[in-house]
Amino acid sequence: LSPDCSFTCHYRCRALVRLDCSGPPGAGDENDGNEQVLEKDTNVDEPSEWEKTELDQAQVEQRIKEYNSQINSNLFMSLNKDGSYTGFIKVQLKLVRPVSVPATKRVPSLQAGRPHPQGVKRRTSFYLPKGTVKHLHILSHTRASEVIDALLRKFTVIDNPRKFALFERSEKDEQVYLRKLGDDEQPLRLRLLAGPSEKVLSFVLKENETGEVNWDAFTLPELHNFLLILQREEEEHVRRLRHRYARCRQKMQEAL
């Protein structure tokens, strides 16, 4: 348990958690607020400029050569004999709610009169560290839904993949734009068309909050956890609002 931010995690996960609690409360509010103000969600059905672009085989080969000449790492794209191509994409995991991972507890079994270790399936939840990123090696025809599945497997997350969505993020004219990718969209194709610049295009995994939630599909313990999480989010939101208006009041008093 951190004394500054009250972050709690499983004792086995301590080595995986990276936190910076040295700053005073509210020190990071301003940056988070600016990011929220600059961020703009666009419609999932609105295709991006890269999605409208069609390339033939020669153009794909030329784009791959240009892409590889612009990167400063060994994360190259390569063209296959069948016309497809492979490459790497970097995905930032920007999750605000905890994820569930499996936990196995050994309990004795009394079958045949002898104790026998048997695994009992359990789950534990924790928050992924802020700024977590993952590189994936995928094919040109790999779909966005398959990328989400691969990310969840990498982090052994057992939550329903439909709870998450893959977004494309771009910066233009000091504005940040987010667009949710459709399940059948191909992230590597978008990466090739946009080029290697992370400002032009990057990928973010976030919670999928565009549809109605079927609360009947959750168990009672999960619902209780959701209530606790929502209560903490509400308390944090109230704290930020109070801090924001306290600063405004202080500046007005200084001006008077």
Q: How far apart are CA 139 and CA 189, in angstroms?
A: 9
**The model scores a pTM over 0.85:** no
Task: List, in order, residues 6 or more apart from 141 with CB less than 8 Å away.
Answer: 84, 186
Q: At what angle do helices 57-70 and 187-194 cross, to 10 degrees?
A: 70
In the predicted model, is pLDDT for residue 59 greater than 70?
yes
By DSSP bridging, strand 78-79 and strand 85-93 are: antiparallel
Mean pLDDT, the chain, rounded, equals 78
Mean pLDDT of 179-207: 92
Residue 25: predicted pLDDT: 42
Residue 210: predicted pLDDT: 52
More confidently predicted of 211 and 72? 72
Residue 216: predicted pLDDT: 74
In the predicted model, is pLDDT for residue 217 greater than 60?
yes
More confidently predicted of 57 and 22? 57
Q: How far apart are CA 226 and CA 232, in angstroms?
A: 10
In the predicted model, is pLDDT for residue 49 greater than 90?
no
Dump strand ranges (E) for the chain: 39-42, 78-79, 85-93, 99-107, 118-126, 132-139, 164-172, 175-180, 202-207
Handedness of CA 99, 130, 191, 85 (dihedral sign): negative
Residue 135: predicted pLDDT: 94
More confidently predicted of 217 and 92? 92
Q: How far apart are CA 132 and CA 197, in angstroms?
A: 19
Q: How far apart are CA 25 and CA 2, in angstroms?
A: 13
Which class for 189: exposed (0-12), middle (13-18), buried (19 or more C-beta within 10 A)? buried
| pLDDT-based confidence at residue 222 (cuts at 50, 70, 90) | confident
Q: Give the model confidence (pLDDT) of 139-161 as tens digits.
A: 999 999 999 999 999 988 888 89
Residue 124: predicted pLDDT: 79
Residue 220: predicted pLDDT: 83
| Tokens coding 235 | 């308390």
In the predicted model, is pLDDT for residue 176 greater than 80?
yes
Residue 152: predicted pLDDT: 93
Residue 166: predicted pLDDT: 94
Residue 36: predicted pLDDT: 47
More confidently predicted of 119 and 220? 220
Residue 198 is classified by DSSP as: T
Are 144 and 185 a contacting pair, CB within 8 Å? yes
In the predicted model, is pLDDT for residue 40 greater than 60?
no
Q: How far apart are CA 124 and CA 150, in angstroms?
A: 20
β-bridge mates for residue 168, sequence order: 179, 203
Mean pLDDT of 216-222: 77
Mean pLDDT of 167-174: 87
Q: Give the model confidence (pLDDT) of 96-134 as tens digits.
A: 888 888 876 454 443 444 444 554 456 777 788 888 899
Are 17 and 2 a contacting pair, CB within 8 Å? no
